[in-house]
Structure 1
Amino acid sequence: MRGRLDPKESIRRYSRMEKSSNGKLIAIVGAGIVGVSTAIWLQRAGHDVILVDRAGPGEGTSYGNGGVLASAAIVPVTVPGLLRKAPGMLFSRDQPLFLKWSYLPRLAPWLRRYLTHATADEARRIAAALHPIIGDSLADHQALSAGTRAARWLVPSDYVFLYRDRAAFAADAFGWSIRRDHGFEWDEFEDDALRAYDPVFSAENGFAIRLKNHGRIADPGRYVKDLADHAQMNGARIFKANVDDFVIADGRVIGLRAGGETIACSGVVLTAGVWSKALAAKLGVEVPLESERGYHLELWEPSAMPRSPAMIAAAKFVVTPMENRLRLAGIVEFGGLDAPPSRAPFDLLMRNIRAAIPDLTWKDTKEWMGHRPAPSDSIPLIGPAPKVAGAWLGFGHHHVGLTGGPKTGRLLAQLISGARPNIDLAPYAPARFD
């Protein structure tokens, strides 16, 4: 993996090399981690920014994510064998895949496209696209949050994958081979060595992989809010409103309509997660995007805390230590944007944590359901709208929005400033769906 920059040096270099002499007024639609990151990097490049969000900064998926800076999460869900396994998963109460069956007719066109990517070659291609966005996430977050109050929530840590035994780990060889090909290295712990590293988990987990140089966010919602506060202190204007449309003249965006008002701007960035789909269509970009509904449970004041964020591989859920609580996340449900939360995913997370840490007790439980933006090819859209000038897109990060938000925001700021990013942006081009 490439070397990590000192966060302060990273900011100085950006300012020195990339600061725009032609500052623009950029409106950013969506104030989650991607939108707020874009705002901060645009400000550092000399631009003025307006953030517009339907609920306010850090209130959507950026609030409810698993909280892990999962740099090694480059292996997509669409690995070989998914098509064979998915039906059995849907009919098992102990598998983390759920479907609201009434939604299936609407889901079907997207699902057909999604499943075409469940091949070895496609999994490797997707991983190669994700790695430049998330592979150095800790350093990216350090550079973003340096000099802000948000830095207090950023905790460097290991990331641990727990397996029943070595044979279970070997069954995941395809995904781990992809990670190795991209430079990830790990330590292996078994039985007593695992207990010595972290005794909190059940002995049923007899084998572990430890990935170093990862991180966690101790309060994701507060982290994004503190970043937004920093942007606001540096002149950003923040509006809580629904964006209804864009004002386009002579093929260029000159404003947007939100909350009954028209906001003038010299460019717009669309970073509204799953709600970006309808707005992208107004910019001439038809995206095969679905809501992958995610769930979390928070266990407040637990009797024990894991040493590091841990993925319980057999159950496909993550346990993340946070400020005064444990967060459990990792469910996938397809059911659209409008249906209420289901009971079964919460119940499964509860059964899973009781199996993983049998003696755990806690004082209070909080539940959350939100919407991950899932493009059919599992690769985010990052770049200019192909048919309308002055519009850029940054959404569709699937499971890794928090992890990849800072790098995505920096890339967008570079594009808007006329700088050349140091990675090939072709895999993320919004025009790929035309």
Structure 2
Amino acid sequence: MNGQKSPHIAVVGAGIVGVSCALHLQRLGASVTMIDRQQPGGIAAASYGNAGVLARCAVVPVATPGILLKAPAMLFASDGPLFMRWSYLPHLLSWLIPYIRSSSRKKVEYIVRNLIPLLFDSVDEHRALARGTDAERWLRACEYLYLYANRDAFERDAFGWGLRREHGFEWDTLQGESIREFDPALSKKYEFAVLLKDYGMIANPGNYVSDLAKGFAAAGGEVVRADIKRVDTRHDGVVLKADDRDIKADKVVIAAGAWSHKLAAKLGANVPLESERGYHLELLHANKQPSVPVMDAARKCVITPMQGSLRLGGVIEFGGLDAPASKGPLKLLLRAARAVLPGLEYETKRDWMGHRPATADSLPVIGPAPSSCQVYFAYGHQHVGLTAGPKTGRVVAQHMMGLQQNVDLDAYRCDRFS
């Protein structure tokens, strides 16, 4: 910092994005305090419940051309991956309208171009982030398999796969018994598969984030339990207001996931944000596991062999931050697992529901607040937060510390809906 005193930066949020920001800022010389209502890696964080796949291919948003025609089938089919709490629909409309507008071909191509820099090199970014911490033990190199009923089903997804190929993704295809030769545990009902190589996974996302935070603390970082209600900017820094204390810093990063907009809106951000309620079901002592993480492409369910368990993750539900978990998504996850792995049995199960922060254009909010250069935002990663967290943290840290970097933040501006 050219002889200047290291800045004191507060990071609000201790999920994967917040921890990534805190670690990268610390490694660039800042004095960092990380603040959350719960311990890092805790059960309420979206990264805790992630399916664990570093899904660098997840650059195509859910809302693509024709979404209005596809949505009824996704909602009402017995195995549809989309769920809605209908009493919440009136509240959702202000977000849903710009969300649907973002499904045009031109807009989707724009979204893909701007998710690529955050996702494409995610495996390397995670390795760099975890290096030197106990979190390294949870990282695994792996392949990633998309299962389709047949080639026709795959070709109905041609738009998304075409965009991936255009941006440098490569894969092999498997048909018929070659799928079972790859993994004998997989059902014969699936006659076509896409095999993506050079991927990675996290064998326990909650423990991974917790170990990253322990590495941050061991290197001198401060971890504080507090519920930040407001951020006040002043000429000499910022003051974070909690119920029982004030926390002062030179700058602050808002990385509180689905709760970020409550702070960000007071600081000039106008990006429509909703909770994309995500579910997972963890099967303990299962008698079958796939050899690699598997996506049931029709049900949008991911089946991941984790350390000591089989995790079933995915589906989308809209119902806000306050409603309790629904039973339908959990039942769908179990049906998907039994379809993929015939004869699946297990001893016990654990379920989880959490809140993934979804913007109306499927792009995160990254960069400074319009009202103050002392405040930076890093939230809104919908279902790719675990994958994109380390790169987001690196980009935010470089910007805040005045370093040159090669990711243009224009697409992630917090005032882009103005």
After TM superposition, the score normalised by the length of structure 1 is: 0.94
Aligned position for 2:398: 414
Give the Cα separation in 2 of the matches to 1:172 and 1:209.
12
Give yes or no for contact 1:30–1:271 (8 Å, CA) kept in 2: yes
Give yes or no for contact 2:84–2:319 (8 Å, CA) kept in 1: yes
The runs of 5 or more residues in structure 1 that have no matched partner are: 1-17
Equivalent residues in 2 for 1:163-178 (5 A)? 163-178=148-163
Give CA deviations for 1:263-297 in whole Å, capped at 9, x if unaligned: 11000000000100110012121220000101110
Aligned position for 1:66: 51
Aligned position for 1:112: 97
2:248 to 264, 278, 286: 264
Aligned position for 1:379: 363
2:140 to 152, 155, 164: 155
- 1:43 equivalent to 2:26? Answer yes
Give 1:80 deviation, angstroms: 0.9
Aligned position for 2:76: 91
Cα separation, partners in 2 of 1:61 and 1:20, compared to 1, 3 Å? farther
Aligned position for 2:283: 299
Aligned position for 1:313: 297
1:200 to 185, 200, 219: 185
Give 1:359 deviation, angstroms: 1.0
Q: Which amino acid aligns with 1:41?
A: H
Give 1:20 deviation, angstroms: 8.9
- 1:181 equivalent to 2:154? Answer no
Q: How many residues align?
A: 416
Equivalent residues in 2 for 1:211-222 (5 A)? 211-222=196-207
Percent sequence identity over aligned pairs? 49
Aligned position for 1:345: 329
Give the secondary-structure state (helix, strand or coil) at the position aligned to 2:47. helix
Cα separation, partners in 2 of 1:187 and 1:88, compared to 1, 3 Å? closer
2:226 to 232, 238, 241: 241
Give the Cα separation in 2 of the matches to 1:310 and 1:263.
44
- 1:227 equivalent to 2:233? Answer no
Give the Cα separation in 2 of the matches to 1:423 and 1:210.
29
Aligned position for 1:54: 37
Give the Cα separation in 1 of the matches to 2:187 and 2:4.
58
Give yes or no for contact 1:160–1:310 (8 Å, CA) kept in 2: yes
- 1:368 equivalent to 2:358? Answer no
Give yes or no for contact 1:72–1:179 (8 Å, CA) kept in 2: yes
Cα separation, partners in 2 of 1:122 and 1:233, compared to 1, 3 Å? same
Give the Cα separation in 1 of the matches to 2:269 and 2:103.
24
Give 1:353 deviation, angstroms: 1.2
Cα separation, partners in 2 of 1:138 and 1:20, compared to 1, 3 Å? farther
2:13 to 27, 30, 34: 30
Equivalent residues in 2 for 1:125-136 (5 A)? 125-136=110-121
Give yes or no for contact 2:233–2:374 (8 Å, CA) kept in 1: no
Give the Cα separation in 1 of the matches to 2:166 and 2:65.
17
Give the Cα separation in 2 of the matches to 1:89 and 1:52.
38
Give the Cα separation in 2 of the matches to 1:199 and 1:20.
61
Q: Which amino acid aligns with 1:23?
A: S
Q: Which amino acid aligns with 1:383?
A: G
Aligned position for 1:10: none
Give the Cα separation in 1 of the matches to 2:364 and 2:162.
23
Cα separation, partners in 2 of 1:163 and 1:266, compared to 1, 3 Å? same
Give the secondary-structure state (helix, strand or coil) at the position aligned to 1:329. strand
Cα separation, partners in 2 of 1:21 and 1:81, compared to 1, 3 Å? same
Aligned position for 2:387: 403
Aligned position for 2:372: 388
Consecutive aligned runs of 4 or more in structure 1 exceeding 3 Å deviation: 18-22
Give the Cα separation in 2 of the matches to 1:234 and 1:258.
26
Q: Which amino acid aligns with 2:407?
A: I
Give yes or no for contact 1:295–1:329 (8 Å, CA) kept in 2: yes
Give CA deviations for 1:321-375 in whole Å, capped at 9, x if unaligned: 1111111111100000000001111111111111111211111100000001000
Give 1:19 deviation, angstroms: 9.7
Cα separation, partners in 2 of 1:162 and 1:244, compared to 1, 3 Å? same
Q: Which amino acid aligns with 1:201?
A: L
The runs of 5 or more residues in structure 2 that have no matched partner are: none
Give yes or no for contact 2:258–2:357 (8 Å, CA) kept in 1: yes
Give the Cα separation in 1 of the matches to 2:270 and 2:361.
14
Q: Which amino acid aligns with 1:153?
A: W
Q: Which amino acid aligns with 2:131?
A: A
Q: Which amino acid aligns with 1:316?
A: K
Cα separation, partners in 2 of 1:194 and 1:326, compared to 1, 3 Å? same
Aligned position for 1:145: 130
Give 1:389 deviation, angstroms: 2.4
Give 1:189 deviation, angstroms: 1.1
Give the Cα separation in 2 of the matches to 1:22 and 1:93.
60
Aligned position for 1:3: none
Give the secondary-structure state (helix, strand or coil) at the position aligned to 1:195. helix
